[in-house]
Structure 1
Amino acid sequence: MITPGLFYLIGALLLLLPIREKMTYILAILMTTAALMMTFYLVPGDRVQLEFLNYTLTPVKVDRISKLTGLIFTFGGLGSVIYCFRICSRANLRLIFIFIGSALTVAFSGDLFTLYVFWELMTISSSFLIIMASDGTKKTGYYYFLIQVAGGLSALWGVFLQYAATGDLALKTIEAGIPFFMIAVAIKLAFVGFHTWLPLAYGKAPFYVAVVLSIYTTKVGVYVMSRLLPGIDILAYAGLFSALFGIGMALLQTQVRRFLSYSIIIQVGYMIIGISMGTVAGITGAMFHLVNHILYKTVLFMAVGVVVYTTGKDDFENLGIMGRKLPVTSIATLVAFLGIAGVPFFNGYMSKAIIKDAVNEPLLTWGLNLMSFGTCLLFLKFIYYAFLKKSTISLDKQPALSMQVGMGLLTVMMLVIGIHPVWLESVTNMDVAIHYFDKKHLVSGIQPFLWSIAIFILIKKYVVKNYEAPLPYDLYRQIAKQVVTTGYQLSNYHDGKLTKYLLWTTSTLIILLALLLF
């Protein structure tokens, strides 16, 4: 047995061969399909162990959660690779394969060493994807890389502390180094305060790169949180705060990809709350929401990518091209909108219903309803610009067939899960014993949506207002500027003059002596 991620990693190597463009597509389809099929037939309970430098490692471990995550990662990988066929260079396709393969390997890792190695390989491959896109994205790629490396170093320090305390590298609930793992996961989740890389990277990277990143980066953070940090009550309230922050920031955006980036923070809030419950129902609901979120958010990024591809821009004003010129994109967008809004019989409804059932705290229940209302209100703005507002935007070119096929594949899966949600349970044997379409859940699912329509009509002129993009305050950039300034000032003292060096040395010795004496 091997990890399905190996198919993607081997595929990346095969793409180095000097083969024709048509063969590149065939190879990509074969590898992505093979990974999906292998994941489907994995049996929970299977594992692979090996000895490495006197450590017992488990590079592959299968259970119901890892299989569920692997299935959506491989299915999303198939859809996104098809989407990228005609618009992505072979070099970038290789990096995409490495990135997806690394994410899949993390999902099936059974020890902290394997997780950390491929966690960092995700960072390296995705950073190069952004940096190599164009000269205009190099700074963005460097910024993204530095933030992700900071999270990786925090995770590494957590691994050291966990091993020192337990003598074990097994992937399980953490006993030591919890603050460091929390920082690492918070960066990957784009938790408020650690989120600055998300709208920057997704907003400036090529749209097909944003599609791929939206599937894996934050979702790997969710998966790792479910493994290492379940049941920490305070994180549920932190997740609620982060989601409400995402709603406020999304409202102010004029660029659609930044808007979608902040809405990721909202949806991740649901997952944080579910995992923080620490119950089977809460964690299962969070992981089902991870599946649903990957489907509808990826479709939305793909739809915006089609707008960018055909018009050259991704402002809200350009969305009007959907309703008039792009029928396939329009249908996919509407299905994704109803899914993210949690409307009954669409996929987001089932996972939100499970999470709401798992939460017993009144404040969190109120917060979940507010998050649902805010999400619906925000995306009514999206739908208004796409289908209701008059637009004079014209098509510069038609979308590639591969883009529509990739988007359509994920849209069909959304419809299947929405209409028959127990299918997702049967595939993974994760029974949550919930009646999805009883009166209680139907009312809970439709109320935020109906309220948001009424409120949107009342305050439409404020919601669709062209807000001036707020000047972002980035603490990390300010810290970097201070470090650079301080370093520059200190460098002025290193001028090669012996008397100054002797003064530095003498002063340091006096200070050390004083510390020793007192």
Structure 2
Amino acid sequence: MIGIPPAFIFIIGALLVPLVTGRARPPYLAAVGLIGLAATLLISPQTSWVVGLLPEFDLVLLHADGLSLLAGGVFAFAGLLALIYAGRLPSTAHHTAALLYMGGALGVVFAGDFFTVFFFWEIMAIASLVLIWFGGYPRSADAGFRYILLHIFGGSCLLGGIAIQYAATGSIAVGPVDAGAGYMLMLIGIGVNAAFIPLHTWVPDAYPEATIYGSVFLSIFTTKAAIYLLARTFPGLEALAYMGALMVVYGAVFALFQNDIRRILSYSIVSQVGYMVAGIGIGTAIGLSAGAAHLVNDILFKALLFMGMGAVILSTGKSNLTELGGLARKMPITAAFCIIGAAAAAGIPGLNGFVSKGMVTEAAHAAHLDPLSLVLAGSSLITLVYMARLIYYTFFARNDAISAEEAPFPMLAAMGGTAAACIIIGVFPGLLLAVLPFAEHYDPFSLGHLLESGAVILGAAVLFVLGRRALAPRTWVLSDVDILYRRAGTGFVWFCQTPLPGFADAIGTVQQAIIDRLAWFTQNPVDATKLIGGWIVLPVAKVFLPEESVRDFEEDLMKTQEKYPGDPARLRSTGYGIFLASLFFLFYFVIFYLTV
């Protein structure tokens, strides 16, 4: 057995990508993925790789236990298939970013200290941004910009939480977080990547704008690495169980009313990740095992669906349900693989999603969280409906005008490997249950689970048939909360561009007026005081004094104003100095009186 951090293999492989060109590129990518997978599978439990950075301050680049080996193994396996899928793409930058992305994800999984986690966390953010910006769609640049802004916020929260945790405990070892300010900061930082509501909007905003190959990598790593870290740091936090339920329902409902096929799958990510968050929040052995099992299964069936829909986009040039249909005869193999992925996501018996989704529901029931259990079970019905809608309107709805051809062999090979894994785990769930890090008995094929699944299938079928007209794809989509963020951002920019400069100009005008008045006053403070006082007194004098006296008083003021500032020699008199001193002390005592 060996103990090399697999992240190094992918990072070194990424640096060598520019040296491998032409037909050698696809086998090279597959070789890097295969070596990385082998290195991950050969790591022995309890293996570690420690680097002494400073006295009493060690970086743990490799810490292997049951949870990290499970997550690392599925990351490396799915990443290998994604590399095979993307091998035909002639983009050095894309492949470099993809390998760095894989290295970052595996670095997070095997890191034993929080600073190493943060380092690889940021590698993931930068590499995934490249995959979005290389999408080449009109909205890719803006989506990538919004993506990185939110991830900068999340990364800053995570780093702040790590620093506070270290200051409070003197330890940077990855583990449960102590209560305090760092607790909330770390939860928010991880929650951004885990797509907590309402921090989830980057998923449906950015994933559809990446390349069709990049979206496969995106579906595998970012949210799942966050789920892994969440299981390490906040197991048993009950609030997470309810956040998970909210994510499950929220993502499923929004997926039901989308037109873009990859946007549907992006909301499905939010929903499916909710099951994992709920399992972690439940915190029991079966709950944590369920969260880990669904992490594995969602990576597989979601990568399969993104691969299949990417093949549809490549072949047709279209990504909206309103433009698709009739592809089952033109792309039968791709259609079959997508049906497997959709059925697995919906929890159909015999496929891997059935195993882990039922396990999360069972964990909620065993923890006496029956309302949560009902929400999770009921959401499976919505999932089945939107997956049926996706498959029907992509492959079976009538569209005689569409032209397409079957996906290239490397893409089909990657889809085939992923579909096979979904079927094998679904038929032989013991293979997955045996490697879960928290031992707990669970029978996915119990009569209760099968009856529950049958009821969901029947209910979804009835709902789809009766509501087919309402479920028909439309060009309009259900707007998410990101519209509020964008309007707030637009309003802030408008405020900075229009009212704020005007306000600054007004302040400058007032400031200059004050300066001008002071300059006028200091030319002859005695006469200036006389003028100011005179003009203040004049309206009162007009009311109470005879008209002739008022006229004389006003004429005297006018003459003083016309001669102002008068003879400069007068300004150097002793009386002027006494007047200024008296005026100064007057202001001083007024201020003193007001402040004591």
State the TM-score, normalizing by the size of structure 1: 0.92
Per-residue displacement from partner, 1:329-367 (whole Å, max 9, x unpaired)? 112112112211111111101111221221131101111
The residue that corresponds to 1:439 in the other structure is 447
Per-residue displacement from partner, 1:175-205 (whole Å, max 9, x unpaired)? 1412112211221122221122111111222
Q: Distance in 1 between matches of 2:467 and 2:117?
A: 47
The residue that corresponds to 1:149 in the other structure is 152
The residue that corresponds to 2:338 in the other structure is 333
Per-residue displacement from partner, 1:11-47 (whole Å, max 9, x unpaired)? 1011121x33222222211110011111112122111
* 2:311 maps to 1:306: yes
Offset at residue 77 of structure 1 (A): 0.4
Once the two structures are superposed, the pairs formed by residues 440-455 of structure 1 within 5 Å of their partners are: 440-455=448-463
The residue that corresponds to 2:206 in the other structure is 201
Q: Distance in 2 between matches of 1:149 and 1:200?
A: 16
Q: Distance in 2 between matches of 1:502 and 1:152?
A: 47
SS, match of residue 131 in structure 2: helix
Q: Distance in 1 between matches of 2:332 and 2:359?
A: 33
SS, match of residue 58 in structure 2: strand
* 2:96 maps to 1:94: yes
The residue that corresponds to 2:409 in the other structure is 401
The residue that corresponds to 1:485 in the other structure is 494
The residue that corresponds to 2:568 in the other structure is none
Identity rate of aligned residues, in percent?
32
SS, match of residue 466 in structure 2: helix
Q: Is the 8 A contact 2:362 2:373 kept in 1?
A: no
Per-residue displacement from partner, 1:48-69 (whole Å, max 9, x unpaired)? 2221133122111011111110
Per-residue displacement from partner, 1:80-116 (whole Å, max 9, x unpaired)? 1111111351211101110111011101111100001
Q: Is the 8 A contact 1:311 1:318 kept in 2?
A: no
Per-residue displacement from partner, 1:223-242 (whole Å, max 9, x unpaired)? 11111111111221122122
Q: Given the superposition, is the C-alpha separation of residues 88 and 454 from structure 1 closer, same or farther in structure 2, using an over 3 Å criterion?
A: farther
The residue that corresponds to 2:196 in the other structure is 191
Q: Distance in 2 between matches of 1:372 and 1:294?
A: 18
Q: Given the superposition, is the C-alpha separation of residues 61 and 501 from structure 1 closer, same or farther in structure 2, using an over 3 Å criterion?
A: farther
Q: Distance in 2 between matches of 1:72 and 1:45?
A: 19
Q: CA RMSD in A?
A: 2.5
The residue that corresponds to 2:583 in the other structure is none
* 2:446 maps to 1:476: no
The residue that corresponds to 1:84 in the other structure is 86
Per-residue displacement from partner, 1:237-266 (whole Å, max 9, x unpaired)? 122122211122112111111111111111
Q: Is the 8 A contact 1:86 1:400 kept in 2?
A: no
Once the two structures are superposed, the pairs formed by residues 297-446 of structure 1 within 5 Å of their partners are: 297-359=302-364, 360-396=368-404, 398-427=406-435, 431-446=439-454
State the TM-score, normalizing by the size of structure 2: 0.81
Q: Which moved more, 1:439-448 or 1:464-473?
A: 464-473
SS, match of residue 57 in structure 1: strand
SS, match of residue 320 in structure 1: coil
The residue that corresponds to 1:292 in the other structure is 297
Q: Is the 8 A contact 1:275 1:286 kept in 2?
A: yes
Q: Is the 8 A contact 1:321 1:395 kept in 2?
A: no
* 2:24 maps to 1:23: yes
Q: Is the 8 A contact 2:326 2:396 kept in 1?
A: no
Gaps of 5+ in 2: 516-590
Offset at residue 483 of structure 1 (A): 3.5
SS, match of residue 213 in structure 2: helix
SS, match of residue 48 in structure 1: strand
Offset at residue 472 of structure 1 (A): 4.7
SS, match of residue 51 in structure 2: strand
- Letter matched to residue 454 of structure 1: V
* 2:241 maps to 1:241: no
Q: Is the 8 A contact 1:48 1:61 kept in 2?
A: yes
Gaps of 5+ in 1: 505-512
Q: Given the superposition, is the C-alpha separation of residues 383 and 167 from structure 1 closer, same or farther in structure 2, using an over 3 Å criterion?
A: same
2:265 to 247, 260, 284: 260
Q: Given the superposition, is the C-alpha separation of residues 45 and 92 from structure 1 closer, same or farther in structure 2, using an over 3 Å criterion?
A: same
Per-residue displacement from partner, 1:273-327 (whole Å, max 9, x unpaired)? 1000111211111111011111111111111111100000111145424311112
Q: Is the 8 A contact 2:6 2:36 kept in 1?
A: yes
- Letter matched to residue 107 of structure 1: V
The structure whose Rg is larger is 2
Offset at residue 465 of structure 1 (A): 4.7
Q: Is the 8 A contact 1:61 1:110 kept in 2?
A: yes
- Letter matched to residue 114 of structure 2: L
1:103 to 102, 105, 114: 105
Offset at residue 206 of structure 1 (A): 1.9
- Letter matched to residue 9 of structure 1: I
Q: Distance in 1 between matches of 2:105 and 2:372?
A: 31
Offset at residue 498 of structure 1 (A): 11
Q: Distance in 1 between matches of 2:267 and 2:480?
A: 13
Offset at residue 386 of structure 1 (A): 3.4
Q: Distance in 2 between matches of 1:309 and 1:123?
A: 26
Q: Distance in 2 between matches of 1:423 and 1:85?
A: 30
Q: Is the 8 A contact 1:322 1:329 kept in 2?
A: no
Offset at residue 168 of structure 1 (A): 0.7
Per-residue displacement from partner, 1:365-390 (whole Å, max 9, x unpaired)? 11111111111111111222134321
Q: Distance in 2 between matches of 1:495 and 1:53?
A: 55
Structure with more contact order per residue of length (Cα contacts < 8 Å, sep ≥ 6): 1
Q: Is the 8 A contact 1:307 1:321 kept in 2?
A: no
* 2:14 maps to 1:3: no
Q: Given the superposition, is the C-alpha separation of residues 133 and 88 from structure 1 closer, same or farther in structure 2, using an over 3 Å criterion?
A: farther
Q: Distance in 2 between matches of 1:329 and 1:477?
A: 37
Q: Is the 8 A contact 2:254 2:478 kept in 1?
A: no
- Letter matched to residue 165 of structure 1: A
SS, match of residue 89 in structure 2: coil
Per-residue displacement from partner, 1:143-181 (whole Å, max 9, x unpaired)? 111111110001011111111111110100111412112
Q: Distance in 1 between matches of 2:382 and 2:479?
A: 23
